[in-house]
């Protein structure tokens, strides 16, 4: 099942505007429940979580920033 270029653009917007804030709140909440680790460990965890959220959505974001197949003037 492959998504069209337009569908991928729409889904990427939904993921960034709705899904990412929910993920950030969930990650901070879980970190607070676990207790605060040392500062450098906490920074490392947040950096890892920052990369981890995008892995399942790679296929949606791939090629979205490039001009679409129907764009004549590169917009």
Q: Is residue 70 part of a domain?
A: no
DSSP 19: I
CA distance 39 to 54: 24
Q: Is residue 13 part of a domain?
A: no
Q: Is residue 74 part of a domain?
A: no
Predicted pLDDT at 64: 79
**Chunked in runs of 10, what are the mean pLDDT values of the chain (75 residues)?**
83 92 91 88 90 87 78 59
Structural domain count of the chain: 1
Buried b (16+ CB within 10 A) or exposed e, 24-46: eeebeeeeeeeeeeeeeeeeeee
Place of tokens 């679409």: 68
Q: Is residue 37 part of a domain?
A: yes
Predicted pLDDT at 72: 61
Q: Is residue 2 part of a domain?
A: no
Q: Is residue 36 part of a domain?
A: yes
User: How far from each other are the two terminal CA atoms of the chain, in whole angstroms?
Assistant: 26
| The pair of three-digit structure tokens given for residue 39, joined into one six-digit string | 């500062």
Q: Is residue 66 part of a domain?
A: no
């Amino acid at each position: 099942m492959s998504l069209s270029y337009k569908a991928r653009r729409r889904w990427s917007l939904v993921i960034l505007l709705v899904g990412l804030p929910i993920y950030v709140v969930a990650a901070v909440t879980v970190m607070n429940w676990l207790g605060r680790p040392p500062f450098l460990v906490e920074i490392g965890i947040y950096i890892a979580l920052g990369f981890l959220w995008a892995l399942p959505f790679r296929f949606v974001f791939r090629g979205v920033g490039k001009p679409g197949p129907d764009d004549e003037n590169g917009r």
